Amino acid sequence: MNSVSNKAIAKMKLRQSIKVMGVSAWGASASLLLACLCMLTGCNSKPAAFQVNEAYIRAVEYKADVTKPQMRDASTRLSTAQIKNVSEVLEGLFGTPDKPNLPGGVGLESFLSMRKLSVAAGPVIYTGDDQNSNGLESGLYRRHCAHCHGVTGDGHGPTAQFLNPYPRDYRKGQFKFKLTDADGAFKKPSKKDLNHVLMEGIPGTSMPSFRVLTEPERSSIIDYVVYLAIRGQTERALIDAAYLLASDNSEIPDNPNKLLVRFDSDEASNDLDYVRELLTPVVLPWTNNGTGSVQRTIEEAPAGWNSAESVERGRQLFFQSKANCFSCHGQTGVGDGQTNLFDNWTVEHLGNKPGDAAGSGPDGEIAGIPEYFYHNELAQIGVVPPRNLKPRNLRLGNYRGGRRPIDIYQRITGGIEGTPMPGNTKLTQEEGWSLVAYVMSLPYEAVSRPKTAPVFQGVGTSK
Ligand code: HEC
Ligand code: HEC
């Protein structure tokens, strides 16, 4: 009896301390309200829940001991109680898919708007009979994005497995197409960058343009994508911390179950301070103390950047070690220079052959045989089968990050985060633009035309 009431008191304390952090509630009142609503409306489906990032848990366990290529045995894994604890902490900080929260005290309230989040989150509910999304009260994300990107933002919506490339898993917090990356460093995308992706879509992939949405709708969804990314990164940080705790053999006083936040103990508020420390390095790169990431300014292309001489200089650079483009994109630019590349989302689930130390395999960084680590258990927790990332075929003229010369300049000098495509910091501005000119000329070279190109009536044939 006594321990039950102690537990209740501790939970109450925790709620209070979380309120101090700025989190509005532990979700209890929300679920009560939902239950009432359901009683009235007769719905009996469970409220939407975020999925635990089990794939990351497996990856962390695996990396802690790469000599065991198969799954670690149950005794050395995070326990069910530890995983549940991480989920509870995460829910306290970020709420649920129907009722998002923002953890306070880390500068998020001024960076993301609760009002926008609530329009983007939740089930699809219309305010009126407006068939356009303009009448939407909530559920923008679930209506437009979740079938590909998943309710959790894990990139595992029901459509995902059929798409190539797979929809993005936001939880790693890495984004590809942005004007914030410079000087060899990857930054978080600015909201402007995300809006650009929503306006243009990602050509050559299934990611559509959302130009048809209104500006306020896009802006709400953007806040929600950032929220999902920060939530996902926090989850990863919590899993890392839980794992450190779990694999620490020394008996931590009063923490026999090795829980990150001991809800039913006086240590709860200390534990929570620790959690807050984990949040800061996740949040700061996004908020940049309020300004958000800043796009770099790319000076205008020098006159004559796309002249024949410039194209020729670009062609030479393409094959020189300074630019080294051919090593991946191939001698002819069709993307066959490197055939064993993977993106960061996939690398996480690749493993080594038994006996290989990490990184010492025949493929260098990505040691080992991918299929070896991708197995049944990963498939069951929703990890999609790994696919090779091909360097782009530059003869097709398909540029995912945009086909304006400035977009391509940014890809070459800023790189593409999450992929092996490097940001080249050695090139002079002029050389960078020459490479843009060369890349953009490739689709127009005679050899780029398909041999079976249709012959149009009256053109090229005379009978
Ligand atoms: C039909 C499937 C599909 C739908 C619907 C979809 N996406 Fe995507 N999205 C993708 C794919 C595929 C990618 C990955 C493209 C790549 O990696 O090159 C992607 C990537 C992204 C990215 C990453 C961009 C970057 O720079 O890395 C963002 C952000 C994004 N989507 C947001 C959204 C939002 C917001 C919605 C809803 C308004 C949405 N997507 C709807 C398929 C989809
Ligand atoms: C280490 C391998 C590697 C090197 C070196 C490399 N690339 Fe790439 N590049 C890639 C990969 C992989 C992609 C595809 C990324 C993706 O799918 O998101 C890519 C994509 C591209 C794209 C397409 C951008 C878009 O918006 O779709 C261009 C253009 C490009 N590279 C040009 C270059 C040029 C020019 C160089 C030399 C300065 C270069 N690359 C060097 C691997 C490389």
Q: What is the CATH number of the domain that holds 321?
A: 1.10.760.10
Residue with token string 């933002």: 153
Angle between helix axes 215-247 and 191-200 (nearest 10 degrees) is 120
Do residue 188 and residue 321 come from a single domain?
no
Do residue 233 and residue 313 come from a single domain?
no
pLDDT of residue 221: 97
C-alpha of residue 218 to centroid of ligand 2, in Å: 29
Pocket test for ligand 2, best of 181, 207, 416 (most atoms within 8 A of CB): 416
| Structural domain boundaries enclosing 276 | 2-47+78-290
Do residue 195 and residue 317 come from a single domain?
no
C-alpha of residue 371 to centroid of ligand 2, in Å: 25
C-alpha of residue 41 to centroid of ligand 1, in Å: 34
Any alpha helices (H) in 248-357, and if so which ranges? 268-287, 308-319, 326-329, 344-347
Q: Which residues touch 144 (CB under 8 Å, ≥6 apart)?
A: 133, 210, 213, 221
Q: Which residues touch 125 (CB under 8 Å, ≥6 apart)?
A: 136, 137, 138, 139
Please check whether residue 375 lies inside any domain of the structure: no
pLDDT of residue 13: 43
Do residue 280 and residue 330 come from a single domain?
no
CB 279 within 8 A of CB 298: no
pLDDT of residue 137: 80
Element (H, E) at 246: helix 215-247
Do residue 255 and residue 341 come from a single domain?
no
| 168 secondary structure, DSSP code | P
CB 183 within 8 A of CB 204: no
Report the nearest-CA residue for atom 40 of ligand 2.
Answer: 325
Do residue 255 and residue 149 come from a single domain?
yes
Do residue 277 and residue 313 come from a single domain?
no
Ligand 2 nearest atom to the CA of residue 165, by list position: 17
pLDDT of residue 154: 96
Residue 126's φ and ψ, nearest 5 degrees, are -95, 145
- Cα 231 to Cα 359: distance, rounded to the nearest angstrom: 30
Please check whether residue 60 lies inside any domain of the structure: no
Do residue 278 and residue 190 come from a single domain?
yes
Which residues in the chain come in under a pLDDT of 70?
1-45, 64-76, 127-136, 248-253, 351-376, 453-463
Please check whether residue 200 lies inside any domain of the structure: yes
- At 62, list the tokens: 């695996």
Please check whether residue 61 lies inside any domain of the structure: no
- Cα 454 to Cα 463: distance, rounded to the nearest angstrom: 16
Residue 9, classed as helix, strand or coil, is: helix
Residue 38's φ and ψ, nearest 5 degrees, are -65, -35
CA angle 88, 92, 94 (to 5 degrees): 110
Q: Is the CB of 231 under 6 A from ligand 1?
A: no
Please check whether residue 368 lies inside any domain of the structure: no
Last residue of a domain, one of 264, 290, 316: 290
Q: Which residues touch 226 (CB under 8 Å, ≥6 apart)?
A: 111, 112, 191, 194, 286
Q: Is the CB of 219 under 6 A from ligand 2?
A: no
Do residue 255 and residue 154 come from a single domain?
yes
Do residue 88 and residue 184 come from a single domain?
yes
Residue with token string 């069910």: 80
Residue 53's φ and ψ, nearest 5 degrees, are -80, 70
- At 109, list the tokens: 């309230």
pTM given for the model = 0.87
Please check whether residue 224 lies inside any domain of the structure: yes
Tell me the C-alpha to C-alpha distance, in Å, between residue 436 and each of 201, 399, 427, 442: 22, 12, 12, 10
Do residue 275 and residue 401 come from a single domain?
no
Do residue 122 and residue 210 come from a single domain?
yes
Evaluate the CA torsion angle 333, 339, 340, 344 in order and state its sign. positive
Residue 247's φ and ψ, nearest 5 degrees, are -90, 0
Report the nearest-CA residue for atom 21 of ligand 2.
Answer: 392
Please check whether residue 408 lies inside any domain of the structure: yes
Please check whether residue 262 lies inside any domain of the structure: yes
Total of domains in the chain: 2
List 182's β-bridge partners, or say none: 185
Terminal Cα-to-Cα distance of the chain (whole angstroms): 99
